[in-house]
A and B are shown apart, each in its own frame.
Chain A
Amino acid sequence: MNFEKAREILISAAKAAELTEYEIYYIQSESVAAETLKDEISSFSSSVEGGISFRCISNGKMGYASSELFEKEEMEALVKRAISNAENMDGDDVPEIFRGSESYPKPTHKAPADISAATLKEVALELQKKTYGESEYVADGTQSGAFVSKMDVALSNSYGLELRNTLGTCGSYVQAVINRNGEAESEFKLCEGFEGEKYDSMSKRAVEGALEKLGATEVDSGKYDIVFSAKEMKSMLSTFSSVFSGKMAHEGLSLLAGKVGEKIAADCITIVDDPMREGSSMQTSFDGEGVATYRKNVIENGVLKTLLYDLATAKKVGVVSTGNGHRGSYTSPVSIAPYNFYIKGGEKTREELMAGVEKGIYITELKGLHAGANAVTGDFSIESAGFLIENGKLGRAVKSFTVAGNFFEMLRSIEDISSNVDFSFGSLTSFGSPDALVRNMSVAGK
């Protein structure tokens, strides 16, 4: 049974149940991946997954149910389950099935490429060979891989709104493992696509990155000026992104509540949510409720301009949806999330950013952010690794220390940022950031 057939059954079951407001949300995804070990393809995987979510307003409350089982009885049961779930909601929300935006932006991303299994295997084997060729210290356990994924999203509701988006990406990675005199280290590099400078240099960067970590020593506990690498600052932004949710703020779970219009970050900080960001392969013109997406500055030169909203929260606090009613999957209800969320780059190169640091640490790895950071309090204490900065220059590798602080304090005290912005890719919500310099942070080491 395909989506069209399932939708037909759902619509007639909804009519039979006398529902007037409902929505059908469907995602079908396909992915293929090849991975190497030593000099051969060690694993190859493919998946075709699809599921459907039905939600409806019954007695003024919203109910959801989803299934991956495309059978007639199951689709009919889905409608009954959604109605029953609506009954059990407490609901002071005024639920809404959306009638549609006036217009929707046009995606400029290319249709996902058709990439054959043979190409993926070739790419993975070629990367693996290059990686082994980079250094005599490359050890078994080193893996290279290539993948392609495609996603088809469809939203259809009782007001005749019909939206569809096809998106996808492909990419490759190298996990270089090196072993020199019994000391092992590894470095993971990932890049979108199978060409260009980033791709060509990936093996080299992975091996060099792992080699540079060898002999890393501990640091003394104390206060240091910290430069977070773009990649790690991006992870930090991702970890704390829920603080920009209008719902979290409304419920007292974000300390940004009531701060719109106030200065909450340093002058150099502008944070943008741009769902249609040029160059992104995951552009989306509508959110999980069918609201048109648009670009907005969430923070502009340090001032909080807006929080992010879905329909229900927007109505509750008297604003309009910002098109951030997100569906992570058909299994999850609407939540609030950004799409392409990034800190805008500054003027300086990374070297210029470091030039003003006399004694500091360039942090290239933050680990366990899911555990060591708390978005409700803003506090973090995170295992880190990186390199000393001495008199403006990169020094020896350091590891086994934590950097601790508070996200909200950190936003205010970022002294400067670099011009290079590192973006993540491959999912509907992606993040980006330049390198960021923060003075006088607590480091626990020896």
Chain B
Amino acid sequence: MIINEKIIPEVLAVAMSGGADFAEIFAQRSRTNSINYLGGKIDNISDNVISGVGVRAFIGTKTVYASTTDISREGLLRCAESVAAAMGESRKTALSNIVLTPTAVNNAHTVKTYPSDVETKVKADILRSACSAAKEYDSLISQCTGTYLDVDRTILVANTEGLLVTDRKIRTRLIVSAVASRDGENQSGMCGPGAGMGMEFFDTISPEETGKHAARQAITNLKADYCPAGQMTVAIENGFGGVIFHEACGHSLEATQVGVGMSEMCGKLGQKIANEKITAIDDGTIVNGWGSSNIDDEGNPTQRNVLIENGILKNYMIDRLGSRRMGMPMTGNSRRQNYGFEPTSRMTNTFIDNGSDKNEDIIASIEYGLYAKEMGGGSVNPLTGAFNFAVKEGYIVRNGKICEPVRGASLIGTGSQILEDIDMVGQNLATGQGMCGSSSGNVPTDVGQPLIRVSKITVGGR
């Protein structure tokens, strides 16, 4: 029990006493272990317990949120009282009839070995072997940094509709960055697989391969020339390449933006917004997915939501506030980094589905362009749809053949335009793991796609 459940009705009643029509309590306890490797050794170990509560109340579409690390009865009542006081409406007598019905969560994301049952030494050894493999890959590898991470997050959500539910989510990740140096110049490579799994995740990936992958990329970049600048046809590979949809379109489909008219996708439901080859899905139910959970941070079950089907906009990603603003049902997308953040609609595992084009045809169709084998992060302005993201590993394509590597490229454009310009969609769907930062903090999100072709996009280079 992460807070005393007996006092929840009282806390909710106090939160309602400012004239609210709905109140919710979110409690969290997480244990986070991260181990960092640098300079051929374990450089530091972080071991943190995150514990706190957030209380939220609504009147219509107005919200008040208060959070605290003081989880004593007095602390929680003080937190609820501050919510009621800030509502600023005429005070009502506290409700006395809030009845909570505990709801059991059917755990779809089985964990075999909990990180808390495994000694730190075992975790450190996983990281060591990954980083050593990177360092030994090539004599040009001058440095390797790495992070082992496990998060064990338990949440409780209760609200004045009678909901009382708890969930526990485990996630694990290994990130290796390698640096290759020559003649006073550095280039880097990175690989960072993760999953909503326990320690068994490290049996499904090879730490050594993760290290080698990062090293190979650093060496490739060291031997590459700068990417030329200008507009060209670009093929973007599967996996983390899906960041293109996440930035170019995903954020613009979040109720956070749509509900207040701050998205270029407002009012376009049922309209054709993308090339008919595009079907895009946000699915928080993928078993052991990096962005999955049984329930969202408002206690609603996660769902598989088809966002775009054959180019037609089918749905947005909607939290409770967004649901009230937009008059549409919630979609199980409400997320927050921790109790300190008011939740909002966020992506979970978001991807472009497999299409009908053969991968070899996509490359063969490009006379001159860029093959973006691996992508880095990016950002977007949802109002205008203007987005950017970095290419971590790229190659020039000439006469339908992948040729020499190029480095330092970025891709920019606008969401509505690129959705039309994705004119070939391949068949090797895969996902990649990232952390997405937005108003409710950093949350783990999966991105994904098969190989796609963008007929024309601005490539930043020099």
Q: Which residues of B contact A221 (CB under 8 A)?
A: 229-230
Q: Does A355 contact B (CB under 8 A)?
A: no
Q: Does A374 contact B (CB under 8 A)?
A: yes
**Residue contact A383 to B386, C-beta cutoff 8 Å:** yes
**Residue contact B69 to A50, C-beta cutoff 8 Å:** yes
Q: Which residues of A contact B38 (CB under 8 A)?
A: 251
Number of A interface residues in the complex (CB < 8 A) = 80
- Interface digits, B24-42 against A, CB 8 Å rule (1 contact, 0 not)? 0000010010010011011
A221 CB, min distance to chain B CBs, angstroms: 5
**Residue contact B39 to A251, C-beta cutoff 8 Å:** yes
Q: Which residues of A contact B458 (CB under 8 A)?
A: 400-402, 444-446
B414 CB, min distance to chain A CBs, angstroms: 7
* B interface: dominant SS: strand
**Residue contact B64 to A43, C-beta cutoff 8 Å:** yes
Given A67-B51, A370-B379, verify A88-B62 contact (CB < 8 Å): no
Q: Does B65 contact A (CB under 8 A)?
A: yes
Nearest-CB residue, chain A, relative to B61: A42
- Interface digits, A78-100 against B, CB 8 Å rule (1 contact, 0 not)? 00011011011111100000000
List B residues 113-143 near A (Cβ within 8 Å). 120-121, 124, 142-143
B25 CB, min distance to chain A CBs, angstroms: 15
**Residue contact B408 to A404, C-beta cutoff 8 Å:** yes
Nearest-CB residue, chain B, relative to A330: B48
**Residue contact A252 to B143, C-beta cutoff 8 Å:** yes
Q: Which residues of A contact B226 (CB under 8 A)?
A: 404
**Residue contact B66 to A46, C-beta cutoff 8 Å:** yes
Given A46-B66, A88-B124, verify A252-B181 contact (CB < 8 Å): yes
Query: Chain B interface residue count: which class?
Result: 35 or more
Q: Which residues of B contact A333 (CB under 8 A)?
A: 44, 46
- Interface digits, B72-99 against A, CB 8 Å rule (1 contact, 0 not)? 0000000100100110100000000000
Q: Which residues of A contact B48 (CB under 8 A)?
A: 65-67, 330-331
Which of A69, A331, A443 meets B29, CB within 8 Å?
A69
Q: Which residues of A contact B292 (CB under 8 A)?
A: none
How far is it, in angstroms, between the C-alpha of A48 and the C-alpha of B68 when the chains are bound? Answer: 5
Q: Does B282 contact A (CB under 8 A)?
A: no
**Residue contact A185 to B142, C-beta cutoff 8 Å:** no
How far is it, in angstroms, between the C-alpha of A379 and the C-alpha of B222 when the chains are bound? Answer: 12
Q: Which residues of B contact A67 (CB under 8 A)?
A: 48-49, 51
Q: Does B110 contact A (CB under 8 A)?
A: no
Q: Does B184 contact A (CB under 8 A)?
A: yes
Q: Does A410 contact B (CB under 8 A)?
A: no
**Residue contact A255 to B262, C-beta cutoff 8 Å:** no
**Residue contact A48 to B260, C-beta cutoff 8 Å:** no
**Residue contact B379 to A367, C-beta cutoff 8 Å:** yes
A190 CB, min distance to chain B CBs, angstroms: 15
Q: Which residues of A contact B62 (CB under 8 A)?
A: 40-43
List A residues 88-144 near B (Cβ within 8 Å). 88-92, 117, 121, 139-141, 143
How far is it, in angstroms, between the C-alpha of A443 and the C-alpha of B82 when the chains are bound? Answer: 51
B72 CB, min distance to chain A CBs, angstroms: 9
A371 CB, min distance to chain B CBs, angstroms: 4
How far is it, in angstroms, between the C-alpha of A208 and the C-alpha of B32 when the chains are bound? Answer: 45
Q: Which residues of B contact A48 (CB under 8 A)?
A: 67-70, 79
Pick the interface stretch among B159-167, B185-193, B197-205, B447-455: B185-193
Most buried by B among A88, A90, A383: A383
A212 CB, min distance to chain B CBs, angstroms: 14
**Residue contact A81 to B47, C-beta cutoff 8 Å:** yes
**Residue contact A446 to B41, C-beta cutoff 8 Å:** no
B264 CB, min distance to chain A CBs, angstroms: 8
How far is it, in angstroms, between the C-alpha of A401 and the C-alpha of B229 when the chains are bound? Answer: 10
Which of B82, B261, B412, B459 meets A400, CB within 8 Å?
B412
How far is it, in angstroms, between the C-alpha of A16 and the C-alpha of B88 when the chains are bound? Answer: 51
Taking A89-B44, A400-B386 as known contacts, 4 extra A-B pairs with beta carbons closer than 8 A to each other, sorted by chain A number, are A89-B41, A253-B186, A381-B409, A402-B388
25 contacts between A and B (CB under 8 A): A47-B66, A48-B79, A68-B52, A82-B47, A186-B383, A252-B179, A253-B145, A253-B179, A331-B50, A367-B386, A368-B389, A368-B390, A370-B377, A376-B186, A381-B410, A381-B461, A383-B379, A383-B410, A383-B412, A400-B412, A404-B408, A442-B229, A443-B229, A444-B229, A444-B459
In order of increasing CB-CB distance, the 3 nearest A-B pairs are A402-B460, A442-B462, A444-B229
